[in-house]
Chain A
Amino acid sequence: MSRDRLCRVILEDPHGETWDEQAHVHAAECAECVAYRTSVAALGDRLQALPSFGGATLPPMLRGAMLEHLAAVPVSADIVDLPTRPRETTAWWRRAATPAAIAASLVLGIIIGDRVDFRPPADTGEVPRSVGQYISDVTHDHYLIERIGRPLEVALTDEDEMSGWLSNSLAFDIELPVRDPAFDLEGGRVWHTVGRLSAMASYVVGDGSRVILFAVPALGLSLDGAPSEIVDGVRVYHGAEWDHEARVWIDGDLAMALVAPEGHMPDDWRRVFLP
């Protein structure tokens, strides 16, 4: 190993955390390298002790303000995962009574169906969200998905099958665009974003990065909080956070979001995805 190469290795990592066996063996025997490592490591020690750098601590007033803010965050009830247990065998009398109970419910439903308004109350308790928050959430979601190993629920590469699976799993229908060589569907899952259940479909694009399509019901989503432009006749909102960029548009009753790592959004996205 040349001296320049060794200097580089030491300057990159004076503690040897990422070294290979050869570098470790050499550095253990070479007095020059030991001295060089010690000097480079001393720089770290110097920075650690520097009051404005390693020695800086959060000012007490700022810490107090942060903790006050945390204490004021409203807390909602936890969702408790109940332990699963073996399904109980149904008693004979219950099996016999079930059809009768279903029939009675149907008759009752027909009788009172016209008289009672079964629509949900106007205030559903859903937190109102904006397009800006949608962009913030989906770019964060893409970041998280990359960190937790792209957890697809289903690996479906056929657009129709994927659309069917998502529509059956959610309370709304979604139709993915027809197959296009620029976007290679790899699967999808039911996701949760901007406080509501959403559809997620993951595509692999030319450079090997992932482009993810999210779709949530647009109802209650206010159209502000992000710049927009008209693309091919459709108003498209855009933004970038978490090193990811997002395009959002409204398609029927759904708010669609296409998210890619920054700079990796293929130009073809508008041709393939916009309605």
Chain B
Amino acid sequence: MTPRLTASEKQRFENEVVPHLDVLYRMARSVCCDRDVADEVAQEAFLKALGGFHGLRPGTNSRAWLARIVHNACRDNWRQRTRRGEHGWDDDLEAEVDALGAAPDWQPGVIREAFDDDVETALQALPPRWRAAILLVDVEGWSYDEAAEGLGIASGSLRSALHRARRVLYARLVETAAGRGRRMGEAAT
């Protein structure tokens, strides 16, 4: 379907949506992980945004609206690609978070000294929805209300998802750091 826009709608699209194309891409990339899939999802989301823009009333938060389109495109793509060993879209790792017990003190060194690959691996092991939440709040600096709107969830659910995501992420980095310590110890002896 070829989208149709009026001249002023096209101008609005250029002013309100185009500046957020990098966020659109980062969201696709962070959720889908795979670069080729992210390219495909980002392009699909862009075309959906273009096709649906005529229905967006002036004054609506177009950045959150765009995030919602990307989120839905990521979700649909994720559900189509069923791969062994990966989390389902709706997973919330309840048992794993419960097993972590009370939140421990965080050692800044664990985060600071982790290799990029370690952080990336820990991120990829999170449920995809959590990665999108972390991206919008921790990386893009969106407010909780705006990020919740972009993800189509309540602000309370977003906070809960972030709480779990940060705990699991940190726990994985601790495990990785401990594993590396053990290997270094073994190498020294």
Interface residues of A (CB under 8 A from B): 3-4, 7-8, 11-13, 17-18, 36, 38-40, 42-44, 46-48, 50-54, 56-59, 62-63, 65-67, 69-70, 73-79, 127, 133, 137, 140-141, 143-144, 147-148, 241-243
Contact = CB atoms under 8 A, between A and B. Distances in A.
B163 A11 contact: yes
A75 B7 contact: yes
Given A4-B102, A42-B112, A43-B138, A74 B2 contact: yes
A11 B43 contact: no
Contacts of B144: 13, 17-18
Given A56-B26, A144-B60, A147-B60, A63 B21 contact: yes
B80 interface: no
B85 to A, nearest CB: 19
A76 B4 contact: yes
B72 A73 contact: no
7 contacts: A43-B169, A44-B137, A44-B138, A50-B119, A70-B10, A76-B4, A77-B7
B66 interface: no
Contact of B43 (A39, A44, A62): A62
B123 interface: yes
Interface residues of B, number: 64
**Interface of chain A, main secondary structure:** helix
B77 to A, nearest CB: 14
A50 B116 contact: yes
Contacts of A51: 116
Contacts of A76: 4-7
Contact of B5 (A46, A73, A127, A141): A73
Given A57-B22, A57-B26, 8 more contacts: A8-B163, A47-B134, A53-B135, A56-B25, A58-B22, A58-B25, A62-B42, A144-B57
B108 A75 contact: no
B13 interface: yes
B102 A77 contact: no
Nearest to B3: A73
Contacts of B26: 53-54, 56-57
The 6 closest A-B pairs by CB, nearest first: A44-B138, A39-B106, A7-B103, A54-B139, A58-B25, A12-B159
A59 B18 CA distance: 14
B145 to A, nearest CB: 9
Contact of A56 (B13, B29, B160): B29
Interface in B157-172: 159-160, 162-163, 166-167, 169-170
Nearest to B109: A39
A51 B169 CA distance: 17
Given A53-B135, A58-B22, A67-B18, A17 B143 contact: yes
